[in-house]
């Protein structure tokens, strides 16, 4: 049975038709749309004009069979429950597309094992992999290495135990900066509210805070950790801290946790910053919203993303699995959740 007024299927134009219009060979059309292929400028122009007139778009899947490159980059993360990562994924996808590449998302959340994600990346024959997370699973490193896949760890920590290119910040230095900001403003009973205790970013930010405080004869009075980076986790952990008391400021290891902590203080009728100061980390867009105006440690997210994409692009084009890591500095962004120094 045919549906009334159903549209006929759209026929895909072929390279042969473009070649006929341009008066060139089919291989000349293929070379024109293959990055780095040799083709005379005049021939290229004739092909492009013919393609525009016909409305032709090259078949990227067919191209990948000839070039051995899919222009797919695996974008792997375990932070899909953190709304701030939508902002990060937006920047990643735009930067990749600007390089003529396409992201293939893979979820490595706590409920997902590494093997299925790695299998998917290999089945789609990705050209390289970017992991956007502070955690880099060993099996993923081993799988990419065995397959000869370039791998970049964004927002990670360089490790002597595995040679993986990293684009990120010195989280320990970020923790030291947090301690300095809090002590300068007269806070002396400082708590830490972090994400997963095993995440390198959590470990390093707390270590930097602890070491810097020790120089003033201080130490974190309490430290609490959540299983995820989410608003709900920050809210629940802050209520836990408030029930115990004994602190006058909280350094949150992530902005989304800090926003949850701020809402917990609002629910508990605790004034920020008069009664308790709250300091975040990252400087996501929501941190500047009028309802929050969060004082935070900024890591240059855009710079890290740009560096990670540039690094993976260089590795793919040069056929290498190693490039130098890139490390960026943090800075304090003052808003309204800490009292004046």
**What are the residues whose beta carbons fall under 8 Å from the beta carbon of 146, sequence distance 6 or more?**
none
The tokens describing 97, both together, are 């597309």
pLDDT of res. 325 = 92
Query: How many other CB atoms are there within 10 angstroms of residue 325's CB atom?
Result: 18
- pLDDT of 189 > 50? The answer is yes
pLDDT of residue 5: 57
> Which letter does DSSP use for residue 159 in this model?
B
- Residue bearing tokens 């490390």: 327
Whole-number pLDDT of residue 255: 96
The mean pLDDT of 323-338, rounded to a whole number, is 95
Beta bridge partners of 222: 191
Are the beta carbons of 246 and 189 closer than 8 angstroms? yes
Q: Give pLDDT tens digits for 202-261.
A: 999 999 999 999 999 999 999 999 988 899 999 999 999 999 999 999 999 999 999 999
Question: For the CA atoms of 23, 24, 30, 35, what is the dihedral angle to 10 degrees?
Answer: -100
Q: What whole-number distance in Å separates Cα of residue 317 and Cα of residue 150?
A: 10
pLDDT in tens, 20-53: 888 988 878 777 777 667 888 888 888 888 888 8
pLDDT exceeds 60 at position 326: yes
Q: What is the pLDDT of residues 75-123, one digit of tens each?
A: 998 877 777 778 888 999 999 999 888 999 988 875 557 888 888 998 8
For residue 146, what is the enclosing H or E element? helix 138-147
In this predicted structure, the answer to whether residue 2 has a pLDDT above a threshold of 50 is no
pLDDT digits (tens, 9 = 90+) for 275-318: 999 999 999 999 999 999 999 999 999 999 999 999 999 999 88
Distances (CA, A) of 258 to 168, 284, 296: 21, 11, 9
- For 117, half-sphere exposure in the C-beta direction (CA atoms, 13 angstrom radius) is 24
């Amino acid at each position: 049975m045919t549906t009334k007024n159903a549209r006929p299927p759209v026929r895909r134009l072929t390279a042969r038709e473009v070649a006929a219009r341009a008066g060139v060979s089919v291989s000349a059309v293929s070379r024109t749309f293959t990055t780095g292929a040799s083709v005379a400028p005049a021939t290229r122009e004739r092909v492009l004009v013919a393609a525009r007139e016909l409305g032709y778009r090259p078949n990227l899947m067919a191209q990948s069979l000839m070039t051995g490159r899919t222009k797919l980059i695996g974008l792997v993360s375990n932070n899909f429950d953190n709304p701030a990562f939508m902002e990060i994924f937006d920047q990643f996808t735009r930067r990749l597309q600007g390089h003529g590449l396409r992201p293939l998302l893979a979820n490595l959340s706590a409920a997902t094992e590494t093997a299925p994600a790695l299998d998917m990346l290999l089945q789609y024959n990705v050209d390289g992999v970017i992991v956007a997370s502070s955690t880099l699973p060993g099996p993923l490193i081993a799988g990419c290495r065995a397959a000869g896949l370039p791998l970049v760890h964004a927002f990670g920590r360089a490790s002597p135990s595995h040679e993986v290119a990293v684009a990120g910040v010195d989280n320990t230095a970020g923790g030291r900066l947090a301690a300095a900001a809090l002590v300068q403003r007269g806070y002396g009973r400082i708590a830490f509210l972090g994400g997963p205790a095993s995440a390198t970013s959590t470990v390093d930010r707390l270590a930097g805070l602890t070491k810097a405080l020790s120089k003033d004869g201080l130490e974190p009075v309490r430290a609490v950790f959540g299983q995820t980076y989410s608003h709900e986790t920050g809210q629940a952990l802050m209520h836990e801290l408030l029930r115990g008391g004994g602190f006058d400021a909280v350094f949150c290891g992530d902005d989304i946790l800090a926003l949850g902590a701020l809402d917990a203080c609002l629910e508990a009728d605790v004034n920020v910053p008069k009664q308790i100061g709250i300091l975040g980390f990252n400087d996501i867009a929501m941190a500047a919203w009028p309802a929050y105006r969060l004082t935070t440690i900024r890591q240059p997210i855009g710079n890290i993303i740009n560096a990670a994409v540039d690094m993976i692009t260089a590795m793919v084009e040069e056929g290498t699995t190693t490039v130098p890591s890139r490390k960026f500095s943090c800075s304090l962004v003052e808003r309204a959740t800490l009292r004046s120094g």
